Structure 1
């Protein structure tokens, strides 16, 4: 079909049953919009003409089914139209321009947001899926209806998964359970979440699904009478308080039972021996009255009450949860909410269209969803790798959350196991970057402390504080992880640029020139030829060992460079040495073969991608490194060197009880931290130990050796390797 030609209208008399069913479902729309939706069907049917699904059905049946799912939620005409046309840009010749011209720019933007990235090339299927998911989330941030279409698309695909081969079924099911069901939960769409989880469970673990489903059916047969009696008792009690309430029993799904059996190590009988009921009343005030009524009927279980009305969940969910001790000795789980809250709980962000809410902005599922999506946009902007981005998203999709208070009384929700450092980054990135400690309920605690719901958290900052790599082991939220990585990458880049500048200057100086003497046009030409955007990229490449400074210097000077006297090794090592402080992040690493320390004579070797590897001059491996003189870097320790460095001591001791503790105590007394101890040799009278430890310098190591010798149990001690 030509990209811009409008399709011929489909005769309404020839409409198949699934289109007539869609027309009935969208009866809530104005007649003019119903006509537009049916026009979209005509466009989609012609665009997908001749295409079939794996099941053999016409392809158009899938987008119409997706539109029907969204119509059940009462969504607007633009969303329904975009759902019908959501695969046209990817799978047909219909152009975006034609789409926008026929149905408007909003519909075209929605369709584009759902479209996969089929035109891009990726190394792996996982990488392509991650990039597609990343694009979808960014489109969601512009218009949240994108994810509603995508979730409905995934739901219909899961309903018709049987036509796929086993490998595809398992892959799609796992993706549904790991990504799409948690997103539905994060957006408060519990009805979608429950069906996606159940369908995913059935496809991924068919035998487990069958066994648990059969046991649920058998258990329900034995408990219907009990449930009816409890439901009648609850209804009568609520009526006695003059409450207009609707009580309905709840049944756990196979996936819910399977997840709890696996995560909480409970048996099927333990989980099924709980009766669940939902009570729907007419107002928030009535919720609390109903709570008092059910507590008067059955005794509440201590510490099992949760008020999600006063403190809503991050996805906008509101309800009172309580557990009662029932008349038959089994716990009764009761959820109490208003009809509006029930709508939001089932439909989440989609309730905005189907149910006109009067809730304040802080409680709105729409607002909370947009806040989450905005944080995902920030994470995406600071994350280069799509795979890393999707891992951050998975972290933020954990359903278990803790609710915390700021000093101002604001409520922040974080994933379970979140630390004070996660809280700091949730407040603001600058707060996280400069955090030094926290006050939790007015008690001073370390940043690594895990937080619990209801705590009041205050972050203490200092201008000099900054993130360090160890923080990545502390945080659990994607926002904190992304911010820390971004800061560390920035520092590494700065250090690499500074170090590369010194190396290139030294190489140019050896050829009788300097970087300042290079004409800007010459430098720009070299950068363009090298496919580099800025000088900083060139300098960073040099420091990381991807380019040789001597080679770059000669290329910059062209025919003007003069060969220095002597060999290349002589040129490399006779020049002024570059001083290092040891703190050059991402640029320097210290060789494990010789463990150089401040105070040692050292030499650097440019290793591609790693930067400069520092060796002691007397290291046995240096002779081999000298065969590549162009990669050697003349370096020396700066006067002011800070930090701890690894060292090893080869210690021969008298083998008797307590000798290891005596030597370890001597090392600790010298303010050295022991990392590892191993026996090299051992017999009845003597033993040889290899201690790995942290010291600040060669002088510090000498002090450790002196203290070890004074113990009286050591026959010999030397630095290892020599």
Structure 2
């Protein structure tokens, strides 16, 4: 947050009027109907937030309270939560950024709101520590998220507003936040059924991680907007007439696909924008009571396919079997005019509301709602189970598995009795066994799929009927991990396999603590993470286990200490130089002759350092690049649009440094000159005149002090080479009263 500004009374009054306007706007279109008590609760939270944040400002210079109001508006309108969540959103930064404590919040608002704010505060504190996704702390963050579904939803709203205002941040922060958003928050929004928010988060992330691609697609969408509007109008005309004939109450909408989804299709299929055929979709939303919803959906489907030829491979029925997020809709792709494929989505008003508002609408329409029974709470329970398993300390694999479970497409499989189970696409019969029960999974030998015997590695298809064959003699095997893809199956298999290993690892942990103490190295999470990286191990448990069995002995630990000193020095040096400076306004883009770019410099001080080009993207002079500090191979230079960039930015942002191509013949170097002499009127003016005469020089600072008629001075200059420096020093020596001019290397 920026420092407080000095403002006139009139400016303060105008800001107060604007704050009040935004507050009223936030309450105007709440998804949930608010009672008088609800409004009192929200007003009380608003008053406390305004008071708590009164002296704080955002990096844009705006009053900080604009942010919590905006987050509360997203919570109220776009996610559709009630008074408790709106109040918590208004106060989500109060405990972290002001003198209020969780105890204060609990006294004023009760345990429920205090618990939500406590969860949000823990997440913010962890994020401010530049948490790597590949660290134990990030799992703590996810554990906090899973304490209450409202913590997840308010955090998604907070992230959405931050992404909408990201232009005020430094470029390195933009990349970190955007990469983290695409890696974790967009998938979370998807899992919560918030498809509009998920799409916006993905688009905004693309805007900062691949700006050229984003703006190119945006420009082409704008250019083709009129053609699309005309095409949609022509497509809808005959469809509308047929639906009107049946007396249906409906509306038809046309919408463009998101920029990110178009970009993904272009990359996946290797085609230009002009060859992406399904740039938009048609949505038919009909009004119906619950009893006739399915009947009308299929009736409309029949009418659509009477007019336009359907693509049987692109039919999706999420009405008969809704997605685990609660999403219901019929999707059919048909051949429209001019031989163009068009996706048509058919859904009731209720289904559309669930699709737009996600979990909030799902709760609203669920009769006799019981938190324990919802699919979302079941998923959150699985997340907690994953996080609390000791054997999930392999953070990289854990995050891959976590993201897979957020984004994966679903298949539907039946038990011999006809019960339906939802599994991620690509799941094996082993995954199905663990989905039924842990004991069934641990003891399974094979599976009968549609009456035929198959191995546990068999990949299931939607509609399969599966019977699991078990034996009391069977135990989980290490090779099972090769074809189990669900987090539940993998965590249970590992838990069984690692029970003995864990006991040995516990002993190894104690041994390692003693050995490190002897080497005068602190035992900490950072040290454990560095040891894992140094010895190329997947988890802290593997590290402790290898210490216990003697694979990592005293000699190996000494090698780590020797090597780590160099890495830590480099890491800390650039963490400070690259990220500690205050944000500045974007500079006008300079016109650079790329043919003369032949050298790289790093960090804010543009230092020359040894580096290697990354083979994954092979940068050439002139490419937009950044440096990545590796553990053992120094700096690797990657292109900004390298395929690995999002993963590196999200997982290791704290090890990324600025890199810039320069023309080495034009590079400037800082030089410090010390002056001594007899003081006289006009001395400073004469010194600055000598420097300013040379247009090629840039003076960063001048500092003169005088005592008893004798002066000492220091000037910091940027020079291109030594001869230029010597020339200006000769000119300074000619000034009346100056006795010595020397170059020094100490401030």
Aligned to 2:332: 322
Aligned to 2:474: 465
1:437 equivalent in alignment to 2:440: no
Native 8 Å contact 2:116 2:150 kept in 1: yes
1:98 equivalent in alignment to 2:82: no
1:413 equivalent in alignment to 2:422: yes
Native 8 Å contact 1:82 1:111 kept in 2: yes
Native 8 Å contact 1:274 1:330 kept in 2: no
Q: What are the superposed Cα offsets for residues 562-599 of structure 1, whole Å, 9 maximum, x if unpaired?
A: xxxxxxxxxxxxxxxxxxxxxxxx999xxxxxxxxxxx
Inter-CA distance 305–402: structure 2 relative to 1 (3 Å threshold): same
Q: What are the superposed Cα offsets for residues 249-300 of structure 1, whole Å, 9 maximum, x if unpaired?
A: 1211110101122234444233235652111112222111101111111122
Tell me the distance in 1 between the aligned counterparts of 2:134 and 2:60. 24
Select the residue among 92, 95, 109 that pairs with 1:86. 92
Select the residue among 457, 461, 468 that pairs with 1:448. 457
Tell me the distance in 2 between the aligned counterparts of 1:587 and 1:35. 51
Aligned to 2:298: 288
CA apart distance, 1:60? 1.6
Inter-CA distance 608–466: structure 2 relative to 1 (3 Å threshold): closer
Tell me the distance in 1 between the aligned counterparts of 2:299 and 2:464. 27
Aligned to 1:374: 381
Select the residue among 337, 345, 350 that pairs with 1:340. 350
CA apart distance, 1:324? 1.4
Extract unaligned runs of 5+ from structure 1: 1-9, 498-536, 549-585, 589-605, 614-623, 625-722
Aligned to 2:274: 269
Inter-CA distance 452–20: structure 2 relative to 1 (3 Å threshold): same
1:486 equivalent in alignment to 2:495: yes
Q: How does 1:592-611 map to 2 (within 5 A)?
A: 609=547, 611=549
Tell me the distance in 1 between the aligned counterparts of 2:57 and 2:313. 55
Aligned to 1:306: 316
Tell me the distance in 2 between the aligned counterparts of 1:360 and 1:317. 19
Tell me the distance in 1 between the aligned counterparts of 2:109 and 2:394. 32
Inter-CA distance 484–221: structure 2 relative to 1 (3 Å threshold): same
- SS of equivalent to 1:459: strand
Q: Please, which moves more after superposition, 24-33 or 99-108?
A: 24-33
Aligned to 2:393: 385
Tell me the distance in 2 between the aligned counterparts of 1:410 and 1:261. 39
CA RMSD, 1 decimal: 3.5
Aligned to 2:195: 190
Q: What are the superposed Cα offsets for residues 125-166 of structure 1, whole Å, 9 maximum, x if unpaired?
A: 344786565445444544311111111101100011011111
1:65 equivalent in alignment to 2:73: no
Tell me the distance in 2 between the aligned counterparts of 1:587 and 1:28. 51
Tell me the distance in 2 between the aligned counterparts of 1:207 and 1:372. 37
- SS of equivalent to 2:421: strand
- SS of equivalent to 2:407: coil
Aligned to 1:53: 58
Tell me the distance in 1 between the aligned counterparts of 2:473 and 2:251. 59
CA apart distance, 1:413? 2.4
Native 8 Å contact 2:326 2:362 kept in 1: no
Native 8 Å contact 1:113 1:135 kept in 2: no
Tell me the distance in 1 between the aligned counterparts of 2:181 and 2:509. 41
Q: What are the superposed Cα offsets for residues 364-410 of structure 1, whole Å, 9 maximum, x if unpaired?
A: 99811111111111111114538354333112112422222222323
CA apart distance, 1:222? 2.4
1:172 equivalent in alignment to 2:174: no
Total equivalences in the alignment? 508
Normalised by the length of structure 2, the TM-score is 0.62
Native 8 Å contact 2:335 2:342 kept in 1: yes
Aligned to 1:24: 28
CA apart distance, 1:334? 0.8
Select the residue among 223, 226, 229 that pairs with 1:224. 229
- SS of equivalent to 2:224: helix
Native 8 Å contact 2:146 2:152 kept in 1: no
Tell me the distance in 1 between the aligned counterparts of 2:509 and 2:165. 51
- SS of equivalent to 2:314: coil
Q: How does 1:539-688 map to 2 (within 5 A)?
A: 609=547, 611=549
Select the residue among 357, 360, 369 that pairs with 1:350. 360
Native 8 Å contact 1:219 1:272 kept in 2: no
Aligned to 2:118: 112
CA apart distance, 1:110? 0.8
CA apart distance, 1:318? 0.5
Q: What are the superposed Cα offsets for residues 161-219 of structure 1, whole Å, 9 maximum, x if unpaired?
A: 01111111111111111111111111111121111111111121111000011112223
Tell me the distance in 2 between the aligned counterparts of 1:474 and 1:547. 39
Tell me the distance in 2 between the aligned counterparts of 1:98 and 1:612. 52
Tell me the distance in 2 between the aligned counterparts of 1:483 and 1:116. 29
1:144 equivalent in alignment to 2:149: yes
Aligned to 1:402: 411
Tell me the distance in 1 between the aligned counterparts of 2:236 and 2:462. 32
Native 8 Å contact 2:416 2:465 kept in 1: yes
Tell me the distance in 2 between the aligned counterparts of 1:25 and 1:232. 32
For the pair shown, the structure with the greater C-alpha radius of gyration is: 1
Aligned to 2:582: none
Tell me the distance in 1 between the aligned counterparts of 2:300 and 2:541. 65
Tell me the distance in 1 between the aligned counterparts of 2:280 and 2:57. 46
Q: Please, which moves more after superposition, 417-426 or 154-163?
A: 417-426
Inter-CA distance 316–141: structure 2 relative to 1 (3 Å threshold): same
- SS of equivalent to 2:276: helix
Native 8 Å contact 1:117 1:132 kept in 2: no
Tell me the distance in 1 between the aligned counterparts of 2:546 and 2:435. 37
Tell me the distance in 1 between the aligned counterparts of 2:270 and 2:380. 34
Tell me the distance in 2 between the aligned counterparts of 1:334 and 1:421. 36
Q: Please, which moves more after superposition, 380-389 or 113-122?
A: 113-122
- SS of equivalent to 2:221: helix
Normalised by the length of structure 1, the TM-score is 0.64
CA apart distance, 1:491? 3.1
- SS of equivalent to 1:328: helix
Q: Please, which moves more after superposition, 370-379 or 240-249?
A: 240-249
Q: What are the superposed Cα offsets for residues 95-117 of structure 1, whole Å, 9 maximum, x if unpaired?
A: 11110111111110111111235
Q: What are the superposed Cα offsets for residues 476-531 of structure 1, whole Å, 9 maximum, x if unpaired?
A: 2222222222111103246x49xxxxxxxxxxxxxxxxxxxxxxxxxxxxxxxxxx
Tell me the distance in 2 between the aligned counterparts of 1:273 and 1:296. 21
Native 8 Å contact 2:447 2:455 kept in 1: yes
Q: Which has the higher contact order (CA 8 A, sep 6+)?
A: 2
Extract unaligned runs of 5+ from structure 2: 1-12, 516-539, 556-747
Native 8 Å contact 1:448 1:474 kept in 2: yes
Aligned to 1:424: 433
Aligned to 2:83: 77
Inter-CA distance 120–250: structure 2 relative to 1 (3 Å threshold): closer
Inter-CA distance 193–121: structure 2 relative to 1 (3 Å threshold): closer
